[in-house]
Structure 1
Amino acid sequence: MNPVRVMIVEDSAVVRQLLAHIVSRDPRLALAAALDSAEAALAELERVRPDVISMDIRLPGMDGLEATRRIMAERPTPIVVIADAVEERGLRISMNALRAGALTVVEKPLGPSREGWEGVAEAICTQLYIMSQVPVIRRRPSALAVPRPAPALPGATRPSLVGIAASTGGPPALARVLGALPSDFAVPVLVVQHMGAPFMEGFAAWLDGLVGPRVGIARDRELPRPGHVYVAPGDRHLGVTGGGLMQVSEAPPVGGQRPAADVLFSSMARFLGPRGMGILLTGMGEDGARGLATLHGAGGLTLAEDETTAVVYGMPAAAARLGGVSALLPLDLIGPRLLRAVGAEPS
């Protein structure tokens, strides 16, 4: 199998050289180009034809967000955003780049002398390799706006808690679903999103600026409140307890994931039964499938994103194969179905 061709877009000569070194030493990858601006990347895109792009966000001239938009419009290519996890403006741009079509965000390397260097380098290479396999295409507008109503589902118990999980493609999908909810949404929402731990605070803050309910990081032993969305902290599981509190834990990864959607949905099945509602959105792999099936078996309403809108149909497909999905819905119908489940009709 031929190695994955990587285009690096990074204005810092030091970081560009570092990324080139990281890519060149991984046998799964091949360095196709290393460029210092978005303009240069766009000019070389058709000639180089990379399999995946490593995209800096803070670039001179055109920034990484606009570059992502242009690439996804002109020659859709998997994009991995390389960002500084502590730089607030850069984090906002990174999250908006995900909304514009980038697939994931990983931490910018700081050099071999820094603690955790090998882990960061491995994470970059692994994400570049994995994301190169994701088929990114221009979707026709009509494919995302199918004017059919959500199917009627059997009368279910009104949920007292909603759990939502996503992986690749998740941030924009979550923004769409949560964006359909009013600020006084009557039920608390718990969210598991697969993303590097350093980015979770910025991700929650970004979501908070986009949707009606308040969004923040979940805290252990806190009582979830209506009108609030609680995001699992980086590298921590999120679940619920028998007393209705949130449980944040350092238990071992489940299926290679921490946080794991299976942990959230399984705890909801155990302690809430038919009063729990689970939603599984776009994502690679099978995390959440077993937990959602368990919640479905306990009487909870379970929804999953349909293949027509999912960036990666892996997680929803796995849940559907296990018979754990009450309904598969295109993304734009999930928010309205959620509103109906709690007795609030879409406006």
Structure 2
Amino acid sequence: MIVEDSLVVRRLLAHIVSRDARLELAAAVASAEEALQELPRVRPDVISMDIRLPGMDGLEATRRIMAEQPTPIVVIADSVRDATFGISMNALRAGALSVVEKPVGIATGGHEQIADTICTQLFIMSQVAVIRQRAPAAAAPRVPASVTVLPPPLSPGMLAIAASTGGPPALAQVLGALPRDCPVPVLLVQHMGAPFMEGFASWLDGLVPMPVALAQDGELPRPGRVYVAPGDRHLLLTTAGTLRLSAERPLASQRPSATLLFRSVAEAMGARALGVLLTGMGEDGAAGMAELRRAGGYAITEAESTAVVYGMPAAAVRLGGSSASLPLPAIGPRLQQLLKRDARA
């Protein structure tokens, strides 16, 4: 189902979807109210959702859909620099799964790439099982038998964290639990379209205690700050302790790559490395978490009970890249414990 008030864009999206053999257009409506009315009858596998709609906006529509008839939602954002993008990110917190660029005219440069991204995201997200709202996890979760819980490092020196599908709200929850005077720097990889990364960093900066900004090449990371991998660049930590942005080829189709981030932190920090791998489709980050753990670092994976997509964390568990598997609400407090232990040391 396409939800888009502009007739021109609605027709363009319908044209894009009709060209993809993986997709079939179930409905195309001009308002959130019409979408809610048609939803029980059409029962689409995935929804393309505009944010700026007449009457009820896309954020409120997402909340209503996730409460009444949970359906995978892909937000189509037409702006990455104004307040609209913040609304798009809040739609992710309300249950939407990803954000992609709004398509441009067929004669415009970049159209085919944007169209392909939209179709791929719609197809992938149509496979995700969504539920109304996950119940809060218990404070002392059961650890899967395949995960061996190891004692944490005595003195963590760097925290690397990565996520993909469902990542922005999960990252906000984990980082929101850490204090502004966090004793280590935080390096972050989130799979998202390159044009959105600056807006994503700004959105996250307004939600968590620590300052958040895009990483700069050659920068010396400081404790109490979050450094986000910019669009289409790998984020690496050098053995000299500085940040490096790399345009090297994608690893497993990902740039930035979570595996390359974790690998570089493992090489630079050894047993002082902390790694966290959250919800996401595919296996990016799994091999890097295994290397981080072999280097003596401590690796936390999000448990299946809370992950929107238990792909990346599950792969890390299979490869031996998990020191502890925890539900999302328990990860931030666990990091607090580790970092307080560091402060006492």
Q: Note whether the superposition's TM-score is higher than 0.5.
A: yes
The one-letter code of the counterpart of 2:86 is R
Given the alignment of the two structures, is residue 89 of structure 1 paired with residue 83 of structure 2, yes or no? yes
1:267-319 deviations in whole A, cap 9, x for unaligned? 01111111111000000000000000000000001000000000000000000
- Equivalent residue for 1:37, pick from 31, 38, 59: 31
Given the alignment of the two structures, is residue 134 of structure 1 paired with residue 128 of structure 2, yes or no? yes
Contact 2:152 2:338 in 1 (8 A): no
- Using the alignment, how far apart are the partners of 1:150 and 1:171 within structure 2? 25
The one-letter code of the counterpart of 1:136 is V
Given the alignment of the two structures, is residue 148 of structure 1 paired with residue 145 of structure 2, yes or no? no
Question: Which sections of structure 2, spanning at least 5 residues, go unmatched?
Answer: 144-148
- Using the alignment, how far apart are the partners of 1:59 and 1:252 within structure 2? 39
| Paired position in structure 1 for 2:92 | 98
| Paired position in structure 1 for 2:216 | 219
RMSD: 1.4
- Using the alignment, how far apart are the partners of 2:266 and 2:28 within structure 1? 49
Give the secondary-structure state (helix, strand or coil) at the position aligned to 1:31. Answer: coil
| Paired position in structure 1 for 2:14 | 20
Contact 2:155 2:341 in 1 (8 A): no
- Using the alignment, how far apart are the partners of 2:133 and 2:302 within structure 1? 16
Given the alignment of the two structures, is residue 176 of structure 1 paired with residue 173 of structure 2, yes or no? yes
Deviation at 1:157, TM superposition (A): 3.0
- Using the alignment, how far apart are the partners of 1:75 and 1:207 within structure 2? 28
Q: TM-score, normalised by structure 1?
A: 0.95
Deviation at 1:147, TM superposition (A): 3.1
Shift of the 87–33 alpha-carbon distance from structure 1 to 2, 3 Å rule, reads farther
Q: TM-score, normalised by structure 2?
A: 0.95
Matches within 5 A, 1:145-294: 145-148=137-140, 153-294=150-291
- Using the alignment, how far apart are the partners of 1:139 and 1:116 within structure 2? 37
- Using the alignment, how far apart are the partners of 2:282 and 2:23 within structure 1? 21
1:21-80 deviations in whole A, cap 9, x for unaligned? 000111111111110000000000000100000000011111000000000000000000
1:225-282 deviations in whole A, cap 9, x for unaligned? 1110011000110010011001111010001100010010010111111111100000
- Using the alignment, how far apart are the partners of 1:319 and 1:44 within structure 2? 40
Contact 1:150 1:337 in 2 (8 A): no
- Using the alignment, how far apart are the partners of 2:120 and 2:154 within structure 1? 42
Contact 1:220 1:246 in 2 (8 A): yes
| Paired position in structure 1 for 2:146 | none
Deviation at 1:89, TM superposition (A): 1.2
Shift of the 77–131 alpha-carbon distance from structure 1 to 2, 3 Å rule, reads same
Q: Percent identity?
A: 67
- Using the alignment, how far apart are the partners of 1:109 and 1:123 within structure 2? 10
- Using the alignment, how far apart are the partners of 1:92 and 1:57 within structure 2? 10
Give the secondary-structure state (helix, strand or coil) at the position aligned to 1:163. Answer: strand
- Equivalent residue for 2:310, pick from 310, 313, 316: 313
Deviation at 1:149, TM superposition (A): 6.7
The one-letter code of the counterpart of 2:258 is A
Deviation at 1:155, TM superposition (A): 4.5
Single out whichever of 87-96 and 325-334 deviates more from structure 2: 87-96
Contact 1:239 1:267 in 2 (8 A): yes
Shift of the 292–19 alpha-carbon distance from structure 1 to 2, 3 Å rule, reads same
Contact 2:154 2:341 in 1 (8 A): no
Deviation at 1:114, TM superposition (A): 1.1
- Using the alignment, how far apart are the partners of 1:236 and 1:107 within structure 2? 19
| Paired position in structure 1 for 2:5 | 11
| Paired position in structure 2 for 1:118 | 112
| Paired position in structure 2 for 1:330 | 327
Contact 2:81 2:199 in 1 (8 A): no
Deviation at 1:85, TM superposition (A): 3.5
- Using the alignment, how far apart are the partners of 2:103 and 2:184 within structure 1? 40
- Using the alignment, how far apart are the partners of 1:65 and 1:140 within structure 2? 19
Shift of the 311–155 alpha-carbon distance from structure 1 to 2, 3 Å rule, reads closer
Deviation at 1:184, TM superposition (A): 1.0
The one-letter code of the counterpart of 2:140 is R
- Equivalent residue for 1:303, pick from 294, 300, 305: 300
Deviation at 1:153, TM superposition (A): 4.4
Deviation at 1:139, TM superposition (A): 3.5
Given the alignment of the two structures, is residue 343 of structure 1 paired with residue 332 of structure 2, yes or no? no
Deviation at 1:138, TM superposition (A): 2.0
Give the secondary-structure state (helix, strand or coil) at the position aligned to 2:26. Answer: strand
Single out whichever of 333-342 and 149-158 deviates more from structure 2: 149-158
